[in-house]
Structure 1
Amino acid sequence: MLAEERRQLILDQLHKDQRIVVKELAQQFQLSVDSIRRDLSIMEEQGLLKKSYGGAVPINQVRVFPKSDERRYGPPNESQDAISKLAASYIQPGDAVFIGGAGIHFGMLQHLPRHYPITIVTNAMKVADTIKGWDNVDAYLIGGKLRTTSGNFIDPLAIEQVRKFSFDICFVTGGGFTGKGISMATPDGGSFMRAVIENARTRIGLAPNEKLGRDLFASSIPLAELDILITDKRASRAFIQQAEKAGVQVVMAQNDSELSGGNFYL
């Protein structure tokens, strides 16, 4: 097989799966890991993809569209699940918390405390439907115009309602994280999240490594507005330094499969 044919197959697989892994490609094409890495480097230089830890992801666009429920609320990868688990550990008895409708928010639910009372405010129907029968949770669903593509409420009515609440903790995320802050696909999403943090005592950002360095269409929250940012051990040193320079405490979530030890950076 010619190298050009192989790279086209790699690109086709990337578009299908939205992520490729070097070791898996090496096995698939019966090549060395170094050979696949060279392929990815050439493809990155051609503007076809962006290399990431252990593989590659598609070139980012500033406008992205909501994922299907199957993808958004499906099984998380290890890094995302580790962030969700660590985020849930910050919730204390009696806390009032905001949890949104992103996949990483939904992943928190399986890790939430079930043995002491908490209050959860959400703008996501999927989250509300999941926790509605929990005995230890007082749940509030922010209303407004339903976005049929996501099942969330982020319109002006929702913004007005969320400003009536105060939170011990709010968990915020977005489609991209850069030195400028968090960005999202829509201005409404950015406006809603700014309203959420206005009355939150502790603001915790959830930032999987694949979202670092991405700058989407609409700005949301400057990094300096966060108190804590939870990411994973694949986060770049450059981004971590930017966040710490902005006064944000950066915390690394560790996968269950990772060996204990010091953090490492790309």
Structure 2
Amino acid sequence: MSDNQNLLAEQRRALILDEIRRRGGVRVNELTRRLNVSDMTVRRDLDALARQGVVEKVHGGAVPVVQASSHEPGFEAKSGLEPGAKEAIARAAAKLVTPGSALALSGGTTTYALAQRLLDVPDLTVVTNSVRVADVFHSASRHPGPSGREGAATVVLTGGVRTPSDSLVGPVADRAISTLHFDLLFLGVHGISVEAGLSTPNLAEAETNRQFVRSARRVIVIADHTKWGTVGLSSFASLEDVDTLVTDAGIPEVLREEIAEHLSSLVVADTSGPDT
């Protein structure tokens, strides 16, 4: 199967998943008519989504797997999800950063991938509540690469209480962030939707993210296509609070149109491979 065919399959499955989540379930024959594909193709797509743990197959169709809105996966569990998409998003997001900027990076596996792409951008000031993100810059300063630039970024790690995703949240983090001002905020999210906006299963993390949003001149959300339609326990921002969404090509065209109605800018990262 070619890369183009793989990409089409990813987009089709994202569309199927969105339809299942919106309607609470679909039948195979409905999907074959809507997508103009064979019964066998739809069943393969449902098998793939079932293996990902996002749908449950039932007789004649599928229904969504509904996790508790307060369920928060750990960092390691999230690291294995959509690694190619996260790398593509990180490449695209890094292009939005200019030398000398003051940045905020929230917690998450996508911001972790972005941090690794920012090591060669000079004179950055990076404020983060992610232990993992801070470790990326700390390790680079101890073991500089071929460029030999040791300590290129000034990194500030907020205090706070550690979450399962290795973010620091709570009053200490909130107070630290509230006194600062960022050129750009790169924000990872648990879920994103038109109705709920940006959401997280962690109440304390929601408040810390609100502080990040208030302190940033521009808010850039970096999230792969699987985050669309997911809703966590607590919303902390609306889509109108977001300046740019950087996502991957797994987002179907119909969803891109819906997202574009609420955002100033949508960047769809190229998942075909690293920059040439």
| Among candidates 161, 173, 177, match of residue 145 of structure 1 | 161
| Among candidates 173, 184, 188, match of residue 158 of structure 1 | 173
Are 1:107 and 2:113 matched, yes or no? Answer: yes
1:40-96 CA-to-partner distances (Å, cap 9, x unmatched) read 55999xx98179xxxx99724242544344334458621111011111121111101
Are 1:221 and 2:213 matched, yes or no? Answer: no
| Among candidates 233, 242, 252, match of residue 249 of structure 2 | 233
Corresponding residue for 1:244? Answer: 260
When normalised by structure 1's length, the TM-score is 0.73
SS at 1:94 equivalent: coil
SS at 1:107 equivalent: helix
Corresponding residue for 1:59? Answer: 65
| Among candidates 121, 127, 133, match of residue 121 of structure 1 | 127
Give the unaligned 5+ runs of structure 1: 1-32, 259-266
Distance in 2, Cα, partners of 1:237 & 1:92: 30
Are 1:96 and 2:102 matched, yes or no? Answer: yes
Distance in 1, Cα, partners of 2:239 & 2:65: 23
1:120-162 CA-to-partner distances (Å, cap 9, x unmatched) read 1001112112212251100001112333x33321112211111
Distance in 2, Cα, partners of 1:39 & 1:232: 22
Letter in 2 for 1:159: D
Query: CA distance change for structure 1 residues 247 and 72 in 2, over 3 Å: closer, same or farther?
Result: closer
Corresponding residue for 2:30? Answer: none
Matches within 5 A, 1:180-259: 180=195, 181-257=197-273
1:159-188 CA-to-partner distances (Å, cap 9, x unmatched) read 111111110100112111111311111222
Aligned 8 A contact 1:183 1:215 in 2: yes
What count of residue pairs does the alignment treat as equivalent?
Answer: 220
SS at 2:174 equivalent: helix
Aligned 8 A contact 1:229 1:251 in 2: yes
**TM-align CA RMSD:** 3.1
Query: How much does 1:209 deviate?
Result: 0.6
Aligned 8 A contact 1:43 1:49 in 2: no
Query: How much does 1:236 deviate?
Result: 3.0
Higher relative contact order (CA 8 A, sep 6+): 2
When normalised by structure 2's length, the TM-score is 0.70
Distance in 2, Cα, partners of 1:189 & 1:90: 25
Give the unaligned 5+ runs of structure 2: 1-37, 142-149
Letter in 2 for 1:92: T
Distance in 2, Cα, partners of 1:42 & 1:75: 17
Distance in 1, Cα, partners of 2:104 & 2:56: 33
Corresponding residue for 1:135? Answer: 151
Aligned 8 A contact 2:222 2:247 in 1: yes
1:11-48 CA-to-partner distances (Å, cap 9, x unmatched) read xxxxxxxxxxxxxxxxxxxxxx953632655999xx98
Corresponding residue for 1:38? Answer: 43
Query: CA distance change for structure 1 residues 62 and 222 in 2, over 3 Å: closer, same or farther?
Result: farther
SS at 2:100 equivalent: coil
Query: CA distance change for structure 1 residues 154 and 214 in 2, over 3 Å: closer, same or farther?
Result: same
SS at 1:190 equivalent: helix
